[in-house]
Amino acid sequence: MKKLGYLLLLCVSALSITILSDKANAAEKTVYFTDTHEVLHGNPYTGTAFDINSPKPAGSPGYTFTNDPAITDFINGSKTIPEDADIVRLQIAWADIEPSADVFTWERLDAFMDKINAQGKTVEFQLLMSESPDVANDPNVFPYIYPPAWLFDVKGASFRMAPYNGIYSAKQPIYYDPIFLAELKKAIDAFAD
C-alpha cells in the first residue's frame, strides 16, 4: 500500500512538472509588428492585445484619444490592426468623451468602432479618470486631463492634490465623493447607450 502511495505521489509530481513546464512555455513575451506598436502576448485567456495609442515622443506633450495620430490613421484607413491581434487596447480619458458637463462627443469613437468592427476585432476600453497633472510646474509630464476639468470647476466634485516626483501635484478626484460617483455613472450610462 505504501508503494502505491509513492507511485501516486510520483505520478502527481510528474503531472505537476508537466503542467509547470507547459506554463513556462507560455511565458509572457513581447512581439513587435512592422508599424512599431508594441503588442503584449502570452495570456492564454485573452490572446494578443494590440496597443493602438501612440507612445509619447520625447520632448512632446504626448497625445490623447482626440488627437492621437495612430487613431487618426486607423480611422482614415491608412493603418489597420495586425491580423494576429485578438484584442485592441484603447486608452480613452473621460475628458475625451465628455469635454463639457452633459455634452458628449461620440463622432471619433463611433468612427473608430466602425473600423474595429469592420476588421472583426474586439476592443478593451481603459477609461482613464484618475488625475490631471500640473503641466505648468513640470513641462515634461504628459498633460493628460483624465477627469474633465468641469467635474471640479463646475460641478464641485471633491479632489486632493496628489504629489508627484516632488515637483508638482496632480488634481485627483475623491472616488467616493457623491458628485464624482453621480457624474461617472452618467458618463458610463451614456457610453453604454
**Structure confidence at residue 81 as a pLDDT band (50, 70, 90):** confident
pLDDT value of residue 107? 96
pLDDT value of residue 138? 59
> Among 32-46, 121-135, 153-167, where is mean pLDDT lowest?
32-46
Q: Is the confidence at residue 167, as pLDDT, over 80?
A: no
CA distance 94 to 129: 6
Judge contact between 66 and 96, C-beta under 8 A: yes
Model confidence pLDDT, tens digit, residues 95-123: 889 999 999 999 999 999 999 999 998 88
Q: Is the confidence at residue 181, as pLDDT, over 60?
A: yes
**Encoded amino acid at 45, one letter:** Y
Pairing mode, if any, of strands 87-93 and 47-51?
Answer: parallel
Average pLDDT, the chain: 73
Give the rounded percent of residues in the chain with a pLDDT score beyond 90: 28
CA distance 52 to 49: 9
pLDDT value of residue 157? 94
> Among 4-18, 81-95, 107-121, 167-181, where is mean pLDDT lowest?
4-18
Say which residues have a Cβ less than 8 Å from residue 160's Cβ, sequence separation at least 6: 171, 172, 174
pLDDT value of residue 162? 79
Q: Is 22 helix (H, G, I), strand (E, B) or coil?
A: helix
| Average pLDDT for 175-193 | 93
Model confidence pLDDT, tens digit, residues 29-69: 454 444 444 444 445 555 566 777 777 666 666 678 888 88
Query: How many other C-beta atoms lie within 10 A of the C-beta of residue 172?
Result: 18
Closest CA to 78 of 35, 17, 121, 21: 35
CA distance 50 to 104: 26
Judge contact between 166 and 144, C-beta under 8 A: no
Burial class (CB in 10 A: 0-12, 13-18, 19+), 50: buried
